[in-house]
Structure 1
Amino acid sequence: MTTFYLVRHAAHDSLGSYLAGRMEGVHLGPAGREQAERLARRMQRETFAAIVSSPRERTRETAMAISVLAEIGPVEIDPDLDEIDFGAWSGKTFDELNTDPAWRRWNEDRASARTPNGESMDDVGRRVLGRMDALRRRHDGETVVLVTHADVIKAVVCHTLGLPADRCFRFEIDPASITVVADDGQGARLIRLNEGV
């Protein structure tokens, strides 16, 4: 059995005002750094074997805060944990996006809709679940921290609970939150959802 702590990155300065996606240079702001420190102190209560992070700056900074206090490193960077590839939508404000029919379809039908770069929620789920399966084999009986993004975590939760991807709006994944999934190779179980710090 491998236990995964799925951690959403702490807040960046403009969280909620535009879609950051895979844009470069999106760092934690002052409030996000404070969130990351609280999260790191919370994670000190746990014992884990590895920390794996999405390549985005905001996830790496969150992972580093955990790594420093837990004295576990280095942080492994893994593109399979990356944010959804939103392509041309990245950097647009939500007011701009709400005028785009393709954006509205993406949010109404996550089970079949695709982003401008062609990624679907099922694609996201396949890549992250494939990485988790490899980590499960490598860290059997251990705990691994995965620092990633809200929709990536939602894809894992939907798969774990057997929900279609368009049910991802029925639960929240807040900045700097912890969701815990345990996997024995025969199937995963949701242990905790969206624990705040």
Structure 2
Amino acid sequence: MTTTFFLIRHAAHDNVGSYLAGRMAGVCLGEAGKAQAEQLGGRMARETIAAILCSPRERTQETAVPIALACGVGEIAIRAELDEIDFGDWSGKTFDELNGDASWRAWNDQRQEARTPSGETMLDVQERIVSLMNGVRELRQNQCVALISHADVIKAAVCKVLGLPVGDCFRFDIDPASITTIVSGDWGSKLLRLNEAA
């Protein structure tokens, strides 16, 4: 028995790529992002989605709503395991500002060992997303589940499935409003599609 996971990165917020949003409050989808979320709804309506789990961030919840409506899923479950990395003091800073910070450079150069200012590591992130997926698989056998999350969280899950060190997360992209499909069973997990556009 297997469970199919659709790992969906939230749609674009305004100024995506110019600053580190992290867990800041009030980071919502822009007009382009709202259009992407509607497209995701149309794409996911082709699947039989049994449940939708979502990060607590506004941008993920705004992405999840059109998917839930299109798929006829009445409730969106908010799960802390899907939350963005806790970047602590780095949140809200522009990437130009961060590039002058030695600890930020270490985070990107030594992703295997480095910690954010809050103390979270990529292995911590991987542990929480994989643990969630394992728990969901026990409850949702032979079903499809959508997980709405963030780029690095999805990358951590993909690295686990492919047996890659988490430091190899820079070797592939997870774009806004993309879908990454993983099938999980008693035999393990496999990646079916990576970074699919809606």
* Superposed pair shares fold, TM > 0.5: yes
User: Which residue number corresponds to residue 192 of structure 2?
Assistant: 191
Cα deviation for residue 68 of structure 1 reads: 1.0
SS at match of 1:14: coil
What's 1:90 paired with?
A: 91
Q: Which residue of 1 aligns with 2:46?
A: 45
Unaligned runs of 5+ in 2: none
SS at match of 1:49: strand
CA distance in 2, matches of 1:143, 1:38: 19
User: Residue by residue, what CA displacement relative to the aligned partner does 1:99-139 show, whole Å, maximum 9, x if unpaired?
Assistant: 00000011111111110001000000001111111100000
Q: Which residue is 2:127 aligned to?
A: 126
State the partner residue of 2:110. Answer: 109
State the AA in 1 paired with 2:178. S
Range with greater deviation from structure 2 (43-52 or 182-191): 182-191
Distance 1:77 1:169 in 2: 27
Q: How does 1:8-47 map to 2 (within 5 A)?
A: 8-47=9-48
Q: Specify the code of the residue in structure 1 equivalent to 2:71.
A: A
Give the C-alpha shift of residue 74 in structure 1.
0.6
What whole-Å deviation, never above 9, does each CA across 1:48-68 have from its counterpart, x for those lacking one?
100000000000010111001
Q: How many matched pairs? A: 197
Indicate if the aligned counterparts of 1:7 and 1:146 stay in contact, CA closer than 8 A: yes
Shift, 1:148, TM fit: 0.2
Whole-Å separation in 2 of the counterparts to 1:9 and 1:148? 6
CA distance in 2, matches of 1:18, 1:87: 14
Gap runs ≥5 in structure 1: none
Identity across matched positions, percent:
58
Q: 1:12 Cα deviation (Å)?
A: 0.2
Aligned residues: CA RMSD: 0.6
- 1:59-89 deviation line (CA, Å, top 9, x unaligned): 0010111001111121000001000000000
The amino acid of 1:162's aligned partner reads G
